[in-house]
């Protein structure tokens, strides 16, 4: 009886975690649609040169790829995949404070933008392998294809809505008003 009860609690905890993962994916899609997808356009609005935009595109991705290699070490340091993923996601969200600051202060220097974007990519990329193995463990006894198809359809739907909403918000704004709208988007993304 005790064993059956423990399995039932585990099944309830698993079901709850899977529902929360869908919610997490939806929030990730909002972040993607309100900020990450528009960071290149934001760099153009701030007046960065093509060389700077190239650096803003490549250096954070390289740093993120290298950070992903350290994912196992990060899990060891934090003691669990869950803790590591939560801390990484929180740091990725906090990087939006930097993007917001760039927008509202009209800061056009490359260094702070590059720093915030590297923080964004490193924190997000580092947690990818840990999240993947955590989800593999969590979905061990499920029809994974069906679960991830359901989760992905919700995430993609939210992404389309957030991209469209962000695009509409930015449409027609010029100068300082446009930078203010980017600031709003970065707060929503955070």
Q: What is the dihedral of CA 110, 182, 57, 127, to 10 degrees?
A: 110
pLDDT band at 172 (very low <50, low <70, confident <90, very high): confident
Question: CA nearest 138: which of 21, 2, 6?
Answer: 21
For 16-60, what is each residue's pLDDT tens digit? 999 999 999 999 999 999 999 999 999 999 999 999 999 999 999
Identify the pLDDT of residue 174: 60
Torsion region of 109: left, alpha or beta (phi above 0 gives left; psi -120 to 50 gives alpha): beta
Question: In this structure, what token pair is assigned to residue 5?
Answer: 């009860």
Task: Give the confidence band of 175 by pLDDT, cuts at 50, 70, 90.
Answer: low
Alpha-carbon distance of 24 to 19, in angstroms, equals 9
Mean pLDDT, residues 145-153: 96
Name the residue with tokens 């929360």.
20
- Whether the pLDDT of residue 7 is over 60: the answer is no
Tokens of 116: 């915030």
Assign 119 to helix, strand or coil.
helix
**How much is the pLDDT for 5?**
43
pLDDT the model gives residue 2: 41
- Under a CB-based contact definition with an 8 Å cutoff, are residues 103 and 41 in contact? no
> How confident is the model over 120-134, as pLDDT tens digits?
999 999 999 999 999
Q: Chain-wide mean pLDDT for the chain?
A: 93
With cut-offs at 50, 70 and 90, classify the pLDDT of residue 10.
confident
Residue 61 in 3-state DSSP? helix
Reading phi first (left if > 0) and then psi (alpha if -120 to 50, else beta), residue 47 is in: left
Span 58-78, pLDDT tens digits: 999 999 999 999 999 999 999
Checking if the pLDDT of 4 tops 90, the result is no
User: Which pTM was predicted?
Assistant: 0.90
Give the pLDDT confidence of 76-113 residue by residue, as tens digits: 999 999 999 999 999 999 999 999 999 999 999 999 99
* Cβ-contact 141, 15 below 8 angstroms: no
- Beta-carbon count within 10 A of 64 CB: 19
pLDDT of residue 11: 82
């Amino acid at each position: 009886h005790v064993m059956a009860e423990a399995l039932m609690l585990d099944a309830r905890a698993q079901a709850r975690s899977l529902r929360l993962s869908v919610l997490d994916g939806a929030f990730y899609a909002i972040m993607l649609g309100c900020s990450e997808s528009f960071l290149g356009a934001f760099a153009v609005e701030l007046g960065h040169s093509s060389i700077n935009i190239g650096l803003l595109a490549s250096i954070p991705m390289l740093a993120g790829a290298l950070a992903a290699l350290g994912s196992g070490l990060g899990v060891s340091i934090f003691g669990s995949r869950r803790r590591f993923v939560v801390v990484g996601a929180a740091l990725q969200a906090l990087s939006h404070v930097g993007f917001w600051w760039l927008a509202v202060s009209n800061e056009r220097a490359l260094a702070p933008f590059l720093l915030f974007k590297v923080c964004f990519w490193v924190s997000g990329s580092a947690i990818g392998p840990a999240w993947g193995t955590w989800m593999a463990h969590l979905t061990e006894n499920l029809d994974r294809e069906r679960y991830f198809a359901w989760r992905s359809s919700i995430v993609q739907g939210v992404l389309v809505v957030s991209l469209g909403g962000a695009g509409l918000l930015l449409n027609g704004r010029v100068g300082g008003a446009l930078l203010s709208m980017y600031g709003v988007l970065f707060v929503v993304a955070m």
